[in-house]
Amino acid sequence: MPPTTLSPAMQAIRALESGVWGLADKLATAAVRVNPADAAAWNVRGRIALAACRPELAARWFRQARAADPRFKPAEKNLRLAETTPPYLPPPSPAYLLILPWGHGFFSDVDMVLGGLLASEITGRTPVVHWGPGSLFRDHDTPDAWTRFFHPVSSATFDDVLTAARRGVYHPRYNAETLPCGPMNRVQGPGSLLAALHHFPRREAVCVHDFHTGVEYLLDWIPESHSLHGASVEGASADLARRYLRPTEGITAAVDDFANTHLGSGGGMVLAVHARGGDKEAEDPAIRTAHADYPGRIDAFLAQSDRARIFLITDSTRLLAEFAHRYGPRLITTAVSRTDDARGVHLRPAPSREALGRDVLLDALLAARCDAFLGYGMSNVSCAVRALKRWPAGTCTLIGPVMTETRNMDGPIPQYYPS
């Protein structure tokens, strides 16, 4: 049996020494938020920052360790090292961060892109998103699914990345020849679990971002000179979405057409509601409790006006039927693919994988056209709708914990056992 009594700081040290920096930072950060007087955990955070070539952050966290426990000798030694370490310098230009598909739900993949974009800004690299092989929303004849949904995030192209890759690639699993093959076994074996922190100290022309690192994991690493320094998860995500998530003209035209025909035709306020079914109900039983809270909130909204309506986005035929029975002609929906069992829509066979992504993107963009929004906090789709619009105060409600704000810190700290 593996040990179960390791302190959070020791777990973080083991993760750091095993090369899993992302997990190490998660463990140490969670530990100091639970106990700000944990000098050993602050010290680990500083060690991670030194490894990532961020001596100014390392010095800050070593001072936190010293303040928490002046008798903790490693902090003083490490602080002297941090104060004499040269500051980080961006890699020689042109340098790229290639963001590959995560291979999960559509907005889980988009969330990974937002994290990669923030990492590119922190490191001074030009981002390139390439949803080739490995994307669940790419048809076989499409070289890059990202550009079927959004405009490129920079003027650089995948060909530019491949050319630069001949000058050097940082990632143990990739080189100029294998990059077109897409993600390669990201979570097991040597070179796996490389979170965004691993890109920070690198000088190679290309870094490959193939492991999910959400925006929330990177907030503490944003330099003071950056406009998002000190931002919240919600604020940073909305800012990145506004600047980078620019739907294609075809997507925008489809949203405009539906919105003009259905959302604006009744003259009343419209509440967008996201009700998640399929595989989410199996993996997260708490969603049923959240859904039970929906009717009272929806009824209160509808009671404001006889012309008020509901725009429902759901992946479940069962939930659609329940809403249709309850709200009748006041319900608006799109004709998208849905599931009638516990399998996620994105995991089911489909004539067009791109169409599945288009469905969920259109629904989210339409929800952002509504007057108010009600969703589930532990859903990437609901979190995306929150980020896609500057919602007036009180008009965007997520029930329960919010995934992008709680998955990093709350709950029991997991044990880590290096392989």
Give the other-Cβ count within 10 Å of 419's Cβ: 7
Spacing of C-alpha 249 from chain mean position: 24
Token pair for 255: 């949203």
- Sequence-ordered strand ranges (E) for 204-308: 206-209, 270-275
Residue 206, SS3 per DSSP: strand
Q: Across the beta sheet with 169-170, what order do the strands follow?
A: 126-129, 96-99, 206-209, 169-170
Q: Which residues of 214-248 are buried (b: 16+ CB within 10 A; e: fewer)?
A: bbbbbbebbeeeeebeebebbebbbbbbeebbebe
Dmax over CA atoms of the chain, in Å, equals 70
Q: Cis ω on the peptide bond leading into residue 94 (within 30° of 0)?
A: yes
Supply the pTM of this predicted model. 0.93
| Cβ 43 vs Cβ 13: under 8 Å | no
What local confidence, expressed as pLDDT, does residue 188 receive? 81
Q: CA of 23: how far to CAs of 13, 104, 231, in Å?
A: 10, 20, 22
| Count of helices and strands (H, E) across the chain | 17, 9
What local confidence, expressed as pLDDT, does residue 407 receive? 52
15/9 Cα distance (integer angstroms): 10
Give the other-Cβ count within 10 Å of 299's Cβ: 11
74/78 Cα distance (integer angstroms): 6
Domain boundaries of the chain, sorted by first residue: 8-83, 96-244, 249-406
The radius of gyration computed from the CA coordinates of the chain, to the nearest angstrom, equals: 23
Whether domain 249-406 has CATH 3.40.640.10: no
User: Which residue stretches of the chain have pLDDT < 50?
Assistant: 1-3, 408-419
**Which residue type, as a one-letter code, is found at position 339?**
T
| Cβ 92 vs Cβ 74: under 8 Å | no
- Sequence-ordered strand ranges (E) for 89-164: 96-99, 126-129
What local confidence, expressed as pLDDT, does residue 409 receive? 40
Token pair for 202: 């690198």
315-342 pLDDT, tens per residue? 999 999 999 999 999 999 999 999 888 8
Element (H, E) at 189: none
**96-244 topology per CATH:** Rossmann fold (3.40.50)
183/173 Cα distance (integer angstroms): 9
DSSP assignment of 329-372 equals GGEE------BSSSS-GGGS--S-HHHHHHHHHHHHHHHTTSSE
| Cβ 271 vs Cβ 372: under 8 Å | yes
Length of the chain in terms of residues written: 419
Q: What DSSP state is assigned to residue 99? A: E
| Cβ 377 vs Cβ 400: under 8 Å | yes
The CATH class, in words, for 8-83 is mainly alpha
Provide the β-strand partners of residue 398.
375
What local confidence, expressed as pLDDT, does residue 349 receive? 86
Spacing of C-alpha 364 from chain mean position: 16
φ and ψ at residue 36, rounded to 5 degrees: -60, -15
On the question of a common fold for 8-83 and 249-406, the answer reads no
